[in-house]
Amino acid sequence: EILAALRAKASDVFQDQVAPGDIVDVSDSSAIGRMIGIISEPLTDLWEVAQQVYSAFDPNSSTGIALDNLVALGAMVRQEQTFSTAQILITGDTGTTIDEGTVFGSTFDASQFALVSDVILSATSATGIGVYPGVVTDSTLYTITYAGTTTTNTINYTSGTGATIDNILSGIKAVIDSSHPTLTSNITGVGASALLNIQRVDEFSTVNFSATNLIIAKSSKIGTAQATVAGPIKAPTGSIVNILTPKIGLDSISNIAPASVGRNRETDEELRVRFRNAKFEKANNIIEALYSALINLEGVEEVVIYENDTNVTDSKGIPAHSFMPIVLGGVGSNIAEAIWENKPMGILSFGDTQVTIYDSQGYAHVIGYQRPDPVPIYITINITADTNFPSTGPDEIKSALINYFDQNQSIGEDVVYSRLYTPINSIENFQVDSLRIGTAPSPTGTTNIAIDFDQIATISASNII
């Protein structure tokens, strides 16, 4: 356009310099044409600068720094590249320090992850331990205590006659399997090499372990590992298992949830889309929004959220200006992500289960929530059956009680003694002579059982006699 305009103007201006009937030569090879070529290039640059200045005020067409400046008016910044991060369960000898920078490998795509900070393997804030008897004698009490932020539980086992390492560990395992549903256990090795491995069912839920007459030889703790290369590097659950930096005392590692995927630097188009969407986000009541987000997660059965908006720690142990979500069921990493996406800025999410979440800028945030502590209920019923009472009657009574607990016992709800007659009497052809309930075998109680706000009453067929 500039060339055409200049050539037309030159033909008009220089027409009197040629003979009548001739035309002015403004072609590229002529002197005038060459001069026009010199002038037209800087004019073109000016036109393009003017267009860029105009476009810089339109988020749909601005680019680079101009776009950064424009979205900053809406309190937004371009997202820089971030690194994928993973929560790693680290197991090894108690007392071992796994150093920052220890490198682990993924079997998914051969990517590498480095430990973000030192992890000291100990029984404090641990997710699991491995124990063996410190003494092997008859009639000896062996205890393991695990304490969270608000509850303390104890595993008790007394050895019998002819105690051995193997039957002591088997006895403790039987107690865990029958009465401690928040733990799993297995025994590796036999004799002098035998070890009872105890692990939290929810591996994000850490507790302080201690033991009497047992040696805590192994500990499992959670650490955070970061990909050594920025970008969207994936690592499915259980894929980060290779120890690339050998360490004496380090037995095994594994990511207990999929890695939080990093990203490349945000492109102009991605930033434009995010800027447009940000203008249409709606605010919600935070507690209601958080409850809705949690209860709709796959596997979540129940949610209770307690808020402390005072300036002091409340009677439940919740710190000032924080909240405690209590969640039954669901995957820990999904729960933490939902809390992070809905919690208010600067307010602590409190609980004995802690998961590290990384924001879009790569900063770490520790998200806490609480798992309801199960309270096993024991029931003893004496009945008189008539001739029509079926041989399967006792099992039917047990099933009726289990179904009643599943449908009616919520987090923090007391076990009401009199209500237990309803599921029991749903089975016919017998009478109840006595009903005893309690929180230990051979119960003697005939009154309600109080359940704390962060507990839930549970029942199993083996606990109903």
CA distance 179 to 237: 29
pLDDT at 400: 94
Decide if pLDDT at 150 tops 80.
no
CA distance 220 to 206: 10
Decide if pLDDT at 362 tops 80.
no
Token code pair at residue 1: 């356009």
- Report the phi/psi class of residue 351: left, alpha or beta, with left for phi > 0 and alpha for psi in -120 to 50: left
CA distance 260 to 359: 10
For residues 44-61, average pLDDT: 88
Phi, psi of 181 (to 5 degrees): -70, -10
Token code pair at residue 58: 């339109």
User: How many CB atoms are located within 10 Å of the residue 35 CB?
Assistant: 13
**Secondary structure (DSSP) of 397-452:** HHHHHHHHHHHH--TT--B-GGGGHHHHTTS-SEEEEEEEEESSSS--B-S-B---
For residues 147-154, average pLDDT: 86
Across 68-193, the runs of DSSP E, i.e. the strands, are 85-93, 97-98, 103-106, 112-115, 119-120, 128-133, 141-147, 152-158, 183-188
For residues 136-158, average pLDDT: 92
Q: Name 7's Cβ contacts closer than 8 Å, sequence gap at least 6.
A: 26, 33, 36
Element (H, E) at 11: helix 2-13
Token code pair at residue 323: 């909240």
pLDDT at 427: 93
Decide if pLDDT at 329 tops 80.
yes
Structure confidence at residue 283 as a pLDDT band (50, 70, 90): very low
Output the CA–CA distances (angstroms, integers) from residue 140 to 212, 266, 281, in the order listed: 10, 63, 63
Output the CA–CA distances (angstroms, integers) from residue 422 to 27, 144, 275, 377, in the order listed: 105, 37, 58, 17
pLDDT at 384: 95
Q: Is 336 helix (H, G, I), strand (E, B) or coil?
A: helix
Is residue 138 a contact partner of residue 161, using CB atoms and an 8 Å limit? yes
Decide if pLDDT at 281 tops 50.
no
Closest CA to 423 of 397, 443, 449, 446: 397
Structure confidence at residue 47 as a pLDDT band (50, 70, 90): very high
pLDDT greater at residue 22 or residue 429: 429
- Report the phi/psi class of residue 346: left, alpha or beta, with left for phi > 0 and alpha for psi in -120 to 50: left
Q: What is the pLDDT of residues 218-248, one digit of tens each?
A: 999 999 999 999 988 999 999 999 999 999 9
Structure confidence at residue 125 as a pLDDT band (50, 70, 90): very high
Output the CA–CA distances (angstroms, integers) from residue 175 to 89, 158, 183, 184, 398, in the order listed: 25, 11, 11, 11, 21
pLDDT greater at residue 40 or residue 331: 40
Q: What is the pLDDT of residues 405-449, one digit of tens each?
A: 988 899 999 999 999 999 999 999 999 999 999 999 999 999 999
Q: What is the pLDDT of residues 61-86, one digit of tens each?
A: 888 888 888 888 877 888 888 889 99
Is residue 450 a contact partner of residue 414, using CB atoms and an 8 Å limit? yes
For residues 113-134, average pLDDT: 95
For residues 349-370, average pLDDT: 86
Structure confidence at residue 285 as a pLDDT band (50, 70, 90): low
pLDDT greater at residue 88 or residue 298: 88
Average pLDDT over the chain, rounded to an integer: 90
Alpha carbon 465 to chain centroid, angstroms = 39
Closest CA to 173 of 148, 200, 155, 194: 155
Is residue 380 a contact partner of residue 439, using CB atoms and an 8 Å limit? no
Q: What is the pLDDT of residues 170-198, one digit of tens each?
A: 999 999 998 898 999 999 999 999 999 99
User: How many CB atoms are located within 10 Å of the residue 395 CB?
Assistant: 13
Across 189-260, the runs of DSSP E, i.e. the strands, are 195-200, 208-212, 214-227, 240-243, 250-255
Q: For 266, which DSSP code?
A: P
Decide if pLDDT at 53 tops 90.
no
* pTM, two decimal places: 0.64
Decide if pLDDT at 312 tops 80.
yes
The highest-confidence range among 149-153, 365-369, 433-437, by mean pLDDT, is 433-437
Closest CA to 91 of 177, 171, 203: 203
Element (H, E) at 294: helix 286-295
